Amino acid sequence: MIRAMTTERGTRRRAPAGAAVLREDVTDAIRAAVFEELAAVGFARMSIEGIARRAGVGKTAVYRRWKSKLALVLDLVAAVASQGMPAPATGSLYGDVRAVLELAAYALRHPVASQVIPDLLVEAARNPEISEAIKAALLDQQQGVAAVVVREAVARGELPEGSDPDRALDLIVGPLYWRLVVVRSELPEGYLDDLAASAVAALRNDG
């Protein structure tokens, strides 16, 4: 989790009179507990009581920071989105695609993420607020990375002008998401190499 900026050593910041001082370690513990609770019971069954119990705090500590479990989850998704995924810069289209796949596979194979992401996507179909937060955390971020990969490949002459970053994203990440999140099967040896080569070939032949 992203930690709040701290003041410089040796300086003190006085809290406004009557204001509650929210300890950052407690906030971090609550956020970690949300991930674990989502993975264990899903959004629908998740409760403030369960989060507080898992974090080792009282319910009031949670409610001081977030008014509801929805607000808590939306804040968590926004924090993850703000961390971003760095755009690769390997010097070749294949290298960039392979790097994107490596990062995506690592994230999707994480035991917590593999439980949390599908559940939140189900909830997103019912809740516009969750839908927008997920879009910002997953789609917008990855579209930005794909745009950089395509732009650099066009500049190197590896892809033609007008290549579509959205299509590139579908070809690169779509099969991996299907395999790891929908089918939930292990990746055979060499799968990412083969998938990267297939995606590059499809992009070069596009149009």
User: At 63, which CATH number?
Assistant: 1.10.10.60
- The reply to whether 40 and 100 lie within a common domain is no
d(CA 81, CA 11) in angstroms, rounded, equals: 31
- The reply to whether 65 and 93 lie within a common domain is no
Which CATH number goes with the domain that contains 116?
Answer: 1.10.357.10
Q: Is residue 72 part of a domain?
A: yes
Instruction: Give me the pLDDT at residue 69, please.
Output: 85
Instruction: Give me the pLDDT at residue 101, please.
Output: 94
Question: What range defines the domain where residue 173 resides?
Answer: 84-205
- The reply to whether 145 and 158 lie within a common domain is yes
Contacts of 105 (CB under 8 A, 6+ apart): 176, 180, 187, 192
Q: Walk along the chain (207 residues) and give the pLDDT tens digit of each residue.
A: 333 322 333 334 444 444 456 788 899 899 889 888 888 888 888 899 999 999 999 999 999 999 888 888 878 777 766 566 678 999 999 999 999 999 888 878 876 667 777 777 787 888 888 888 777 767 777 888 999 999 999 999 999 999 999 999 999 999 998 998 888 888 999 999 999 999 999 999 875
Amino acid found at 49: E
Cα separation values, 20 from 9, 17, 194, Å:
22, 9, 54
Instruction: Give me the pLDDT at residue 163, please.
Output: 94
Sign of CA dihedral 30, 32, 38, 43: positive
User: In what helix (H) or strand (E) does residue 122 lie, and over which residues does it extend?
Assistant: helix 111-124
Among residues 22, 32, 23, 79, the alpha carbon closest in space to that of 54 is found at 32
- The reply to whether 38 and 137 lie within a common domain is no
- The reply to whether 91 and 188 lie within a common domain is yes
